[in-house]
Structure 1
C-alpha cells in the first residue's frame, strides 16, 4: 500500500472520530436542554421577566426539570412563559405549585423556579397554568440599596452637624464641669433615698389597707363592723339632736341675758338688788366675812380634835389610807 493511501486512511479516521465527537456533544447538550426525550408543557404568567430568555433552565425544588420554551405578550402587563418540563418530573408537580423567576447565583442567568405545593392536590396536566409569584429582582434591590445609602448619607451629615453644634453648646461645657458630676451623684443618691422611702411608705400603706380590709384596727372596725356603723350612725343622730338642743339653749340663754340686761337697766329683779344696791352689797360682804370667820374657827376646832386622844387614832388611819391610795395611782 502506498504512503498516500495510508495518509488518506488516517485522515478519514480523524474526520469520522471528529464527527462522532461532534454528534455525541450535540446529544449531551440536547439532553441537558431536553431536546431529546419525552416532555410536556406548563405555562406561567408574569408581569416582568427581569431578563429571562428562551432556553433558560427550569428548576423544580432546586432540581433541573426543563427549559423555557417560548414567551408571548398577552397584554401590556402580562407575559406568558411556556415551560418544557421532563415527564419524569410530572408525578411530583401538583396544580398548586408556584413559579417564580430567580437567578443562578448572585449575577448568573435567569431561571424559573417551581416551588412544590404543600398539601394533597391533583397532579398537573399538559398545558396547565401555574400560579406565579413576582420576586424582587437584582435591579430593584440595587435601586433600594442606593436610596438607602443616600438616606444614610443624609442622616450621617445631619448627625455630624448636630454633634458639632452639641460640642460647641453650653451643654458640653456643663457636662465637662467636674462639680456637675458630684452634684449629679448627690442628686441621684437623694433620688435613690427618696425612692426607697417611697417604696417603704407604699409597703406600709399597703399593709394598712390590707389591715383595714381585714377589719383590723379602728378604721377596719368602722368600715367592716356593721354594728359599729350602726352605733356611729346613732351617735351622729344624737350629735345632731344635741346640736339642735344647744342652739335652742343658746337662743334661750340669749333671751335670758337680754331680760337680765333689761332688769338691770330698769332697776328690777334680784340681780339689780345684788349688783346695784350698795346696802345689800354691804350685807352680803358682812355675811361672807362672818362665814370666813366661822370657817376659820371650824378649822381650829378640827385641828384641836386631831390632837385629842379620843380622835387621834381615827385621823391617823385616814391619813394612812390617803397615802396608800396615792401610791397605787399612776
Structure 2
C-alpha cells in the first residue's frame, strides 16, 4: 500500500470515528433529556382533555425542568393518562399532594406539564404515585373567549357611535344640553341658585355655630337653664305657681260668670232689683218715703231743740262734743 492510499484510509477512519463520536454524543444527550439512563421516578396524572399534549414533552416544577412525558394513554373510562418520569434528584421537592397542570411553552408553543403546590408536611413522591390533575388554560378556549370579547367590543363601539351621533343631532336630554342654548341658560341659572343655596346653608351653619357657642358661655340665661339645677328647680316651681294661679283665675272667672248669670235671674234680691221693673218702682217709692220721713224728722228735732224742756239736754251735748273736739286737737298737736 502506497502512502497516498494509507493517507486516504487514515482520513476516512478519522471521519468514521468522528461520526461515531457525534452519534454517541447525540444518543447520550437525547437519552439524558428523555431520562433514559439516569435514576427516575414514574408518576402519573389523569386528564379529561390533554389539548394536544405529546409524548416527549417536558415536565416543569417552579420554573425548572425536572422530567419528561414518557407515555400518553387512554384509560378505561375514556380519559387520558399521562406517564411522567421525574429525576431522582428532583423528587425531593415534589410532594404527594402536588397538582399536575397542562400548560404551553409560550402563547402558541408546545404543550407541557407543570407541577404546582404541595404541602410541606406531606411525604415526597414515590415510584407509581398518581398526582392530582387540574385543567389548565386552553389556548383555543382563550382564543374563542378573545373572539367573543372582540365582538362585544365592536357592539359597544357601535353603540357609542350611535349615541354620539344622537348627541350631535341634539336628540335626548344630553343632546339638548349640548345644543340647546336655553338649556345652557337654565343650567347656568340653576347653578347660580345652587351656589346661593350653598351660601345660605353656610350662613345658617355659621349662625348655628355662634348660637351653640353662646349656649356654652357661663352666666347666660340659656346656659343657666341648661346646666344649673337650682335655676331649673326655681323655674319649675315658678311654672307650678303660674299653673296654680291660672287655675285660680279660671275658677274666679267661672264664679264671676256664674254670678253674672244670676244677675239675669229674678229668683234673687239683686237680680230682682236689676230685672223687675215693678220692684224698681217700689224701691224708688220707698226711697221717696224715707226722704220725706227724714225731712220731717229733722223738723221735729229742730222743734225739740227749741222746746224749753229739752233745751238743757241739747246744750250739754253740745258742750261735750266741743270738749271732745278740743281734746282731740290738743292730742294731735302733741
1:142-181 mapped onto 2 (5 Å cutoff): 142-168=143-169, 169=171, 171=173, 172-178=175-181, 180-181=183-184
2:224 to 201, 217, 221: 221
Cα deviation per residue 1:181-227 (whole Å; 9 max; x = unaligned)? Answer: 45534532442342233134224424544654787743443333333
SS in 1 for 2:49: coil
Higher alpha-carbon Rg: 2
Aligned to 2:233: 230
Kept in 1: contact 2:57–2:69 (CA 8 A):
yes
5+ residue gaps in structure 1?
A: 280-330
SS in 1 for 2:71: strand
Q: CA deviation at 1:158?
A: 2.3
Normalised by the length of structure 2, the TM-score is: 0.68
Normalised by the length of structure 1, the TM-score is: 0.69
Q: CA deviation at 1:35?
A: 1.6
Kept in 2: contact 1:61–1:116 (CA 8 A):
no
Cα deviation per residue 1:51-107 (whole Å; 9 max; x = unaligned)? Answer: 111110111222221111123444658533221111121233233433221111111
Cα deviation per residue 1:157-183 (whole Å; 9 max; x = unaligned)? Answer: 223223323333164344334565455
- Cα distance 1:269–1:45, how it changes in 2: closer, same or farther (>3 A)? farther
- Cα distance 1:154–1:20, how it changes in 2: closer, same or farther (>3 A)? same
Q: CA deviation at 1:34?
A: 1.4
Aligned to 1:252: 255
- Cα distance 1:199–1:162, how it changes in 2: closer, same or farther (>3 A)? same
Q: CA deviation at 1:115?
A: 3.0
SS in 2 for 1:247: helix
For 2:71 and 2:150, locate their aligned partners in 1 and report how far apart those are by CA, in whole Å: 39
Kept in 1: contact 2:176–2:183 (CA 8 A):
no
Aligned to 1:59: 60
5+ residue gaps in structure 2?
A: 266-270, 289-334
Aligned to 2:332: none
Aligned to 2:38: 37
SS in 2 for 1:126: coil
